[in-house]
Amino acid sequence: MEKIKWVKNEMPKTDDKHFSLMDETAIRNATAFHKSFPQYTETPLADLKHMAEYLGLKGFYVKDESYRFGLNAFKVLGGSFAMANYIAEKIGKDISEVDYEFLTSPKLKEEFGQATFFTATDGNHGRGVAWAANKLGQKSVVLMPKGTTQTRFDNIAKEGAKVSIEDANYDECVRMANAMAEETENGVMVQDTAWEGYEKIPTWIMQGYGTMALEASDELKAKEDVPTHIFVQAGVGSLAGAVVGYFANLYKDNPPKMIVMEASAADCLYISAKEKDGKIRFVDGDLNTIMAGLACGEPNTISFDILQNHTDAFVSCPDWVASKGMRMLGAPLKGDPQVVSGESGAVGMGLVATLMQDPEYADLKETLGLDGNSKVLMFSTEGDTDPVNYKKILWEE
């Protein structure tokens, strides 16, 4: 069985210029925008009391994003907020003036007209962009990498997007979509990865993702609780940068331990951290993993900077870690709520359980200080977005 690999973050600190982008004020602005949607409800924070006790932890909390806007995943938070910011900027308004009602009004059509939003996706981000574009009366074009399942394709197509599966990996699809956006009149690239010269929209997307982190922190405050450890997964790292950035801002004096997890087939952050020089490394090839949402080999530059300064450890997880997490969350201990968690959502559960139960990883458990006083927060970022594979993993493996 392939081993879990990990590295303590010993990369040099930078001037942290992106850190303030994820402060509480910025994220509350994003949350106010999301609350203007008629479909908005706060997703539940599952309190797995019995699981915590079973694993020898003080608390175990799972933010369950399978309930988000009826889309079974968190990604729509980023795409919708980025689109709103782009439109607001184009018509000279502040984002606080550009809520759902305004964005869907005939007045906006007069002031802004029609744009085509382009994106590349492994599934959830593209579905979120397509859904938001559809709701706001805009167009969308979505490119998907080879190996994409029919279910993920169909979910995007039914939101009215022009969608295609390309003979290329995710990172190549990003480049293709960007070229198409540049060649299209009123074409806009909406991607949750940043590169030199493309940073504004990814920043807005990360701030949109922050809504999930803010809800979780508010839900924990209502329980008069503070997490000691936060486990968050990374593809390009935008979600991880949003979560780590938000909580590091919120608890500046005593931040929780931050652990970033990747699929071992696409562990560009882990490989970068292992070199300890602060330079970004890429992973290329087909990036074959069941964690489709994490199959990204080129990190977001803004997020990388935040993670470089505020992450405690980077962990490279084989597929079995995610499968194990899916089964544990899907078949909970009696008295705990069930969390239907997809391949990219459950890796935190699989990792925490392994660290608490397998002596082979005692060194990482000790390095992170995971013990009977630990209160763990993780994010189940998707439900059964690929229902066929979800059942196969839970019922057949």
* Domain harbouring 334, CATH code: 3.40.50.1100
| Distance separating alpha carbons of residues 127 and 3, to the nearest angstrom | 33
236-295 confidence digits (pLDDT tens)? 999 999 999 999 999 999 999 999 999 999 999 999 999 999 999 999 988 999 999 999
In the set 75, 257, 274, 324, the catalytic residue is 75
Q: Is-catalytic flag, 75?
A: yes
266 and 375 share one domain: yes
Residue 207 contacts residue 22 (beta carbons within 8 Å): yes
175 and 215 share one domain: no
316-359 confidence digits (pLDDT tens)? 999 999 999 999 999 999 999 999 999 999 999 999 999 999 99
184 and 269 share one domain: no
Could you tell me the pLDDT band of residue 25, with boundaries at 50, 70 and 90?
Answer: very high
187 and 227 share one domain: no
| Domain closes at, from 193, 212, 238 | 193
Find, among 304, 233, 297, 229, the residue nearest to 268 by Cα: 297
154 and 265 share one domain: no
131 and 244 share one domain: no
Segment (H or E) for 264: none
| Distance separating alpha carbons of residues 277 and 221, to the nearest angstrom | 37
Interior angle at CA 236, CA 251 and CA 380, nearest 5: 60
Q: For the chain, what is the domain count? A: 2
218 and 295 share one domain: yes
Query: Which domain range does residue 179 map to?
Result: 76-193
69 and 156 share one domain: no
245 and 388 share one domain: yes
Segment (H or E) for 205: helix 200-222
Q: Is-catalytic flag, 158?
A: no
Within 13 Å and on the Cβ side, how many CA atoms surround 231?
30
| Domain closes at, from 147, 172, 193 | 193
240 and 132 share one domain: no
160-170 confidence digits (pLDDT tens)? 999 999 999 99
In the set 47, 63, 64, 122, the catalytic residue is 122
48 and 103 share one domain: no
305 and 343 share one domain: yes
